[in-house]
Structure 1
Amino acid sequence: MHLAPAALAQRQGDLFCLSDLHLGPQRPELTERFLRFCQEIPAGVSDLCILGDLFDFWVHRAQAQEEPQNCVLRALQAVRAEGIRVWLMPGNRDFALAPSVLAEFGIAALPDPTLLPGGIVLTHGDLLCTQDHRYLRFRRIIRNPLLLRLLRTLPYSVLLGIGRRLRRSSQKELQKKTFTMMQATDNGIAMAIRGEGVFASSSAPYRILVHGHTHQAIDEDLPALNAHRFVLSDWQTTGATLLRCSATGECALWHYPPR
């Protein structure tokens, strides 16, 4: 478990968490919705955490100069210029987005998982899908730091081909998976809250688990674990469900645009 950077742990304002935007050239209307959100962040928010899958597809830093990726990154840079710190956690779609690329736009990389003060765990959510053994095995391999460094030395055209093949393979795999395999399991949720495996730390067990990945917004008490779980929705043109946490640790789901 990674402890939150001091700047995030000691924030003075509210924290917004969002996830699973899957932005790309195929859905320009979704990009427009997110750009509008960046201009309408309410007063009192000091930090914006994107818990994975900002982009639908990422293989190379050259994408930072392409559209709509460049427009999105510049919008987040403008958010940072307004005094709101921006943090990005890798997701299963954009895990290859290097911290050095983010830094060029004033965005700070956030490890998965991250522990905030008050026992609040932030994670993308794919680690909780413990029934999907094949994906979790692939995740361990592809995120090996040595392999990632090697892949980043390859030409953009080569990586683009590899990425497209992986996306086609992933789409075929999704058709074979059961609903249960694609969801956070009871075992995965308990593992995270109890602080087991990659979630281990001296601060366990934790009070609140926050994640995305499974796309359906959830706000639920977990009495057997003496904890609470918030799940962020994916983004649609109609908006999305985010999480807003005060500096004192009170959290609640928040819909954009406000209802």
Structure 2
Amino acid sequence: MNGFIHSTESFGTVDGPGIRFVVFFQGCPMRCQYCHNPDTWEFHTDTNGLGREVSAEEILNMYDGVKEFLKDGGLTCTGGEPMAQLGFLIELFEKAKERGIHTCLDTSGITFNPENTAAVDRLMDVTDVIMLDIKHIDDEEHKKLTGQSNKNILAFAKYASDKKKELWIRHVVVPGITQNDHWLHELGVFISGLKSVKALDVLPYHDMGKVKYQNLGIDYVLKDVEPLSKADAVKARDVIMQGIRDGLMAERNK
């Protein structure tokens, strides 16, 4: 089976444990206002025709070419949304595990269907770590921010937790949108119910993707929003952590 990818990176240091070979999948059903990879939105090629069709073996051959440099790392699939090409992703991870390669899935979980998990069950069998992006904890606000509901995303988080998959939760804090103590606290309460979370990355919003939007002729909705400071990101993380503590306390007091 072939899949469509945008590009690869041979020395990823923020894409899971260790140094990793990163595959950027082509295609995503969401349109996050702060997305810094709008060139991965289209499912076959981006608007400049940069996407390309590859096989799982081609990707693993590329991996083999740099594996000596991937200290304590492995293979990470990101995007775009890799689970939107589920069959290809499963084949890639299955072949990777046959070679003893550590696998990491960087996903929003947007394509998850809780009514039909057979294929995702198979994916989980060959996935070591999940980096899960939760864009907004409130469904209506999530729709404004991404154009999609968050219901399947939150369902995927619970599903992965039930599967005891190692979860790294990621959340981007955007001034005026997700920089909100109420929603940050509610996110923490939700995370408190997940039993396999190993890391929480609270990322400050940045506008480094502006140039891509200009080059693609796409309006950048957040052009007037200033980047968030690292200090404010730390404060936001503190609020989420308090929500986690409050959620755990409430569960113990039931």
TM-score with structure 1 length normalisation?
0.38
Q: Whose RCO is larger (CA < 8 A, sep 6+)? A: 1
